[in-house]
């Protein structure tokens, strides 16, 4: 198992829940290259661990999920190096997006710049009532580099996405909820409890079907794939699983299903 300096990796084999916490509180959990690499390694490690069935991604403390990129590090980059940093971030965040194990962001405070991009790469976002979302890169003469222009548009539509990208305005939690950027808003003190409860509900469902749902939804946004065909193939694949046999038997026998992810 990898060791980490900038994140906390906290698996719970008894529940199947892994919590990954960005842990740079003195920097408001800002993302530097090392932290992005650790997030990538952590997500890769989780995919190969059969005891991990779902992931909560959050930031340490109550002020910030991830306040953005590490600006001091960015100022040292030239054009070629900046492109490599962006590509590395996109690879790491795509691993989250394409994970067939559900990943829920618990957004505790500021999710700005790279932090907003990280949250958007997750399958769902639960926001504390003090959460703030935004892509303020134009204030620095930049644009988002980790997929923010693409995922923000997917989530809230072209017009509103452009407004936020071009003005650098921040969204409060209730506005993020209204626009569809957040799934739920809860009091700060209840954030992790609510997120765990939601993920626990998901983990009672058939793991193979959950993963195939994620893949089919992602296919809608992939220009190289036909989402309808992906859905049809996944539907057929379910019929070859033990989970399908268990789910249908449990339904007919009027009992809770005991899925094994096979």
Given 137, 190, 233, 246, the catalytic residue: 137
| Whole-angstrom distance, CA of residue 17 vs CA of residue 1 | 17
What percent of the residues of the chain are helix, what percent strand, and what percent coil, each to the nearest 5?
50, 15, 35
| Whole-angstrom distance, CA of residue 262 vs CA of residue 208 | 7
Given 62, 87, 97, 117, the catalytic residue: 117
Provide the 3-class DSSP secondary structure of residue 63.
coil
- The reply to whether 117 belongs to the active site is yes
Neighbours of 256 (CB within 10 A): 8
Task: Dihedral sign for Cα 249, 251, 256, 257, please.
Answer: positive
C-alpha of 68 from chain center: 15
* Cα-based torsion angle of the residue sequence 188, 189, 190, 192 in order, rounded to the nearest 10 degrees: 80
- The reply to whether 137 belongs to the active site is yes
| Whole-angstrom distance, CA of residue 37 vs CA of residue 179 | 31
Point out the residues that are catalytic.
117, 137
């Amino acid at each position: 198992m990898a060791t980490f300096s900038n994140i906390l990796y906290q698996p719970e084999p008894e529940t199947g829940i892994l919590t990954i916490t960005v842990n740079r509180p003195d920097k408001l959990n800002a993302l530097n290259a090392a932290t992005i690499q650790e997030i990538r390694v952590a997500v890769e490690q989780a995919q190969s661990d059969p005891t991990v069935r779902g992931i909560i991604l959050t930031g340490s403390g109550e002020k910030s999920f991830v306040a953005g990129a590490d600006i001091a590090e960015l100022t040292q980059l030239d054009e070629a190096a900046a492109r490599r940093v962006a590509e590395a971030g996109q690879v790491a965040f795509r691993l989250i997006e394409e994970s067939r194990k559900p990943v829920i962001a618990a957004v505790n405070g500021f999710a700005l710049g790279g932090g907003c991009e990280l949250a958007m790469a997750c399958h769902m976002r639960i926001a504390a009532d003090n959460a703030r979302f935004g892509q303020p890169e134009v204030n620095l003469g930049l644009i988002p580099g980790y997929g923010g222009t693409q995922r923000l548009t997917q989530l809230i539509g072209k017009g509103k996405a452009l407004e936020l990208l071009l003005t650098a305005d921040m969204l409060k939690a209730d506005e993020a909820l209204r626009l569809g950027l957040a799934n739920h808003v809860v009091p700060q003190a209840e954030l992790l409890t609510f997120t765990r409860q939601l993920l626990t509900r998901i983990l009672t469902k058939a793991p193979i079907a959950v993963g195939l749902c994620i893949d089919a939804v992602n296919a809608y946004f992939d220009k190289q794939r036909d989402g309808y065909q992906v859905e049809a193939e996944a539907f057929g694949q379910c019929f070859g699983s033990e989970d399908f046999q268990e789910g249908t038997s449990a339904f007919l026998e009027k009992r809770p299903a005991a899925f094994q992810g096979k």
